[in-house]
Amino acid sequence: QAAIALENAILYKEAITDGLTQLFIHRYFQRRLDQELKRARRYGSSLTLTMLDIDHFKNFNDTYGHQVGDQVLKVVAELLSKNVRDVDIVSRYGGEEFTVISPEKTSDDFCVAAERLRKSIEDFPFEVDGKPVRITISLGIAAFPGDAEEKHELIEKADMALYQAKESGRNCFACWDESFLSKR
């Protein structure tokens, strides 16, 4: 029975994590965001959703190849995991896009963490064939309940904030602001 329990635990972990980055997969992210929103509503607390992606990653893959791109994805995933709290949920949203669910955080609270994440990627000594390459990320942040009450709205606003960070020159973060609606 112990062997079966262990095997089931291994299979479950494989079912909810991305094979390349070892982060949670999109489906698990969706489920956890539902759970964390229920918890935040129940206890009257907040949570922050951060969406981020690697700047100019398509060009990077086109230049250096997908295998090198995969190595960058792995390192970025490790750096993200190391630079958030244990209670934060880091997921691969798709492609070069990632999410961080941060319970008990407002977007103002998360600014320090967002800068730490951004800086950890920017400062990492990525190399291709012994030559340094610059990798940066852009981040968009939205919070429950201040910015959005519903899951789809929270995701949409974090995504719009991410778009704003990219429009502002990349390698930065943006917190949701109503003014983003007029820029669409």
The tens digit of pLDDT for each residue in 57-96 reads 999 999 999 999 999 999 999 999 999 999 999 999 999 9
DSSP calls for 22-83: -SBPHHHHHHHHHHHHHHHHHHT--EEEEEEEETTHHHHHHHH-HHHHHHHHHHHHHHHHHT
If pLDDT is split at 50, 70 and 90, which confidence band does 32 have? very high
* CA dihedral of 139, 79, 25, 153, whole degrees rounded to 10: -20
- State the average pLDDT for the chain: 94
Distances (CA, A) of 9 to 20, 31, 181: 19, 18, 44
Task: State the catalytic residues.
Answer: 96
Q: How many residues does the chain have?
A: 184
Neighbouring CB atoms inside 10 A of 114's CB total 26
